[in-house]
Amino acid sequence: MAKFADDVAGILKDRPDTQMVVFPEVHLLGDKDGEDDPWAFFARVAEPLTGPLVAALGQVAADAGAWLVPGSIAERGADGRIFNTALVYNPEGRLVSSYRKVFPWRPHEPWASGTDFTAFDVPQAGRMGINICYDSWFPEATRQIAWHGAEVVLNIVKTTTPDRAQELVLARANAIANQVFYLSVNAAGPPGRGQSIYVGPEGEVLAEITHAEREVTHLVLDLDRVSEVRTRGTAGLNRMWQQLHADDDPIDLPAYNGHMAQGHWQPRNPNPGDHR
């Protein structure tokens, strides 16, 4: 924890005007996912949100006097299941939001699946939300966070595999489809692939790391751009959030039936020769 606190302090020393510091997925767990039995390790260190790690991270945020997203931790739920949970602290060190990864990378990750998407307010700035790594592959994740009013989605990531190339595309697609800032913060190597990407609400790349080396990126975001883009349309044209009119018929979405659950999530398997 001392090393992490020093890292946060160093970032703020270099840029005292920094208001929020964000780290990648499972940052504090290091490279333990490379062990022979990483899940036994995660089970051993998991703790509830009332545990000492969560309290210690709050003290780091308070000492820094800045918003802090320290990545995600192994959270032990009340029922004993273990979640990949992102934490958000305000400059007073209070835990203001937590988010359990809804879409673990299956079949490779045995994390329990969260069920709720969240958003939180940063006073004098705007509204933000978090998703974690593989969540970016599911358009429902970012859409739900944006529907909660988030103007910025923090996508904290630990991708160690070649599919980072696809995630760079998905970061821009998620930003475009929801007209939000989408900030995809990936772990450096080893073992992460790096290549963090930060995207504006029209899909424009604000900054991009093209390597896997450790690097601190400083961004200044004008969150008024979200409302501007939604008002005039992406590229001056597309206003997706204004698509539905009062006299439009409701659109049935049978894939969800009101919620996601195994059994009605997979596409239909049409009969041979059925080309409907």
Residue positions annotated with a catalytic role: 25, 101, 133
Q: Which residues does 268 contact at the CB level (< 8 Å), separation at least 6?
A: none
Instruction: Report which DSSP code applies to 156.
Output: E
Question: Residue 56: how many CB atoms within 10 A of its CB?
Answer: 15
- HSE on the CB side for 190, CA within 13 Å? 3
**Tokens representing 158?**
């630990």
Are the CB atoms for 241 and 228 separated by under 8 Å? Answer: no
For residue 171, count CB atoms less than 10 angstroms from its CB and return exposed for 0-12, middle for 13-18, buried for 19 or more: buried
Helix (H) or strand (E) holding 182: strand 181-186
Name the one residue in this structure whose structure tokens are 């990864």: 101
**Tokens representing 97?**
């939001």
- HSE on the CB side for 234, CA within 13 Å? 19
The dihedrals phi and psi of 63, each to the nearest 5 degrees, come to -65, -35
Sign of the CA dihedral running 168, 172, 174, 180: positive
